[in-house]
Amino acid sequence: MAAPDRPPELTAGVIITDELLRRPPAKPDYLREKLAIQDLAHQMADRPTEIIPRLVALAMEICDGISAGVSVLDPETNRFRWVGVQGALAAMQGVTVPRENSPAGVCMDIGGPVLMAQPARAFGWMQGGALPVSELLLVPLQSRGAAPLGTLWVIGKEAGHFDSGHARSMSELASFTAIALRMIQSEERLSQALRLQETLAEEMSHRVKNVFAVAESMVRLSARNAVSKEDLAAKLTGRLHALADAHSLVRRRFDQMPWEGADFAEILTRILLPHGEGRSVVRGPALPVASSKVPLRSPGKPRRTMYACNGGRPAARSPRRRKSRAMV
């Protein structure tokens, strides 16, 4: 089977949906269809993730097909993924096909049952497959008032296999399954949102602890040289304001797109501002800093260090380090 990259050229020539009305349908077995719907309902309540394989099995049973499956459309990639494939094409589980070059795409565009005869004539990637397709019946997975999610398809044994009764039964199964599939997708999105919320809560807890640790260090540093409680309050307030001011530089606003980061020298200048104007001089090359990390080494370039000077003269010794923090 070739790769389905090229769009079909003779789609209209393989569509024979009108034949469904000309062929005499078999006597409908309404009890059998009712039991099938009830089975799907129980499946959705007890094991919703297994409803698609059960749907495909029922479709094959009702239509007496040789293979069947569901093509679910991924809106992001605009490709169908084959799921729940059973019968002769079971090995094709997980195959993806472009929407614009797929019988399922034609069915979704039409919005109703579609019968195709020898679809390989229009979809070249189906040629040379292990299973020659004489007739292919597709119905959209669509609930009332909602966009279709994909299609349910069944392959017949020979030409003239399907009739209007098959199309009606499959449409009822597909409509019910579309509701179940939307419930499954909603549950998946909810689970993903809950996981994201938990991750965010853990990250926020970690960052709050960091803020408390920084605040504790500021209190200790400010208390060393404070001569009174008023002096301590003034120094601590200044340092907290300076830290908040520096933090605002590295937090991008929604109206700042694109954003290349803040300059490291400007951040240091604002942090050192409470220590007295003119007491600190910051020199060094331009170094952009984003909110996530500070790049200490540029690719292919040696490490460059920025340092603060007291009174315009270099510090007498290198910054004293405690664990992972440097104190200047």
More confident: 147 or 281: 147
| Coil vs helix vs strand at 328 | coil
| Coil vs helix vs strand at 130 | coil
Give the bridge partners for 82, in sequence order. 71
Is 65 a residue whose pLDDT tops 70? yes
Q: Please, which pLDDT band fits residue 166 given cuts at 50, 70 and 90? A: very high
Average pLDDT over residues 180-207: 80
Q: Please, which pLDDT band fits residue 314 given cuts at 50, 70 and 90? A: very low
What per-residue confidence (pLDDT) applies to 85?
95
CA distances from 290 to 15, 192, 208 (A): 57, 27, 20
Is 313 a residue whose pLDDT tops 50? no
| 133 contacts 67 by C-beta, under 8 angstroms | no
Helices (H), 136-228: 164-225
Using the CB atoms, write b or e for 282-315: b if 16+ within 10 Å. Answer: beeeebebeeeeeeeeeeeeeeeeeebeeeeeee
What is the overall mean pLDDT for the chain?
78
What per-residue confidence (pLDDT) applies to 278?
54
Q: Please, which pLDDT band fits residue 138 given cuts at 50, 70 and 90? A: very high
Using the CB atoms, write b or e for 203-233: b if 16+ within 10 Å. Answer: eeeeeeeeeeeeeeebeeebeeeeeeeeebe
What gap in Å lies between CA 243 and CA 284, rounded to an integer?
A: 21
pLDDT in tens, 32-48: 777 877 777 777 667 76
Cα torsion 185, 57, 152, 178 to 10°: value is: -30
CATH class of 11-190: alpha beta
Report the residue count for the chain.
328
- Listed ranges 3-7, 135-139, 265-269, 308-312; the one with the highest mean pLDDT: 135-139
pLDDT in tens, 216-257: 888 888 888 888 988 888 888 888 888 888 777 766 555 555
pTM comes to 0.57
Is 319 a residue whose pLDDT tops 60? no
Average pLDDT over residues 150-157: 94
- What are the residue ranges spanned by the domains of the chain? 11-190, 226-327
What gap in Å lies between CA 99 and CA 102, rounded to an integer?
A: 5
H/E run at residue 289: strand 288-289
Residue that has been written with the tokens 């309050």 in this structure: 233
Query: Which amino acid makes up residue 182?
Result: R
pLDDT in tens, 255-309: 555 556 677 888 878 777 776 655 667 777 777 766 544 444 444 444 444 444 4
Average pLDDT over residues 138-143: 88
Query: What's the count of helices (H) and strands (E) in the chain, helices before strands?
Result: 8, 13
Give the single-character DSSP code of 133: -
Give the bridge partners for 321, in sequence order. 326
Residue that has been written with the tokens 């020898």 in this structure: 118
Q: Please, which pLDDT band fits residue 154 given cuts at 50, 70 and 90? A: very high
What per-residue confidence (pLDDT) applies to 160?
93
What per-residue confidence (pLDDT) applies to 117?
95
- Least Cα distance to 59 among 38, 85, 80 occurs for 85
pLDDT in tens, 68-93: 999 999 989 999 999 999 999 999 99
Is 133 a residue whose pLDDT tops 90? yes
Give the single-character DSSP code of 297: S
Q: ω into residue 132 within 30 of 0, thus cis?
A: no
**Token pair in block for residue 109:** 């565009």
Please classify residue 120 by burial: count the beta carbons closer than 10 Å to its beta carbon, then call 0-12 exposed, 13-18 middle and 19+ buried. Answer: middle
Long-range contacts of 54-57, Cβ-Cβ distance < 8 Å, separation of 24 or more: 55/84, 55/152, 55/173, 55/174, 55/177, 56/84, 56/85, 56/86, 56/152, 57/86
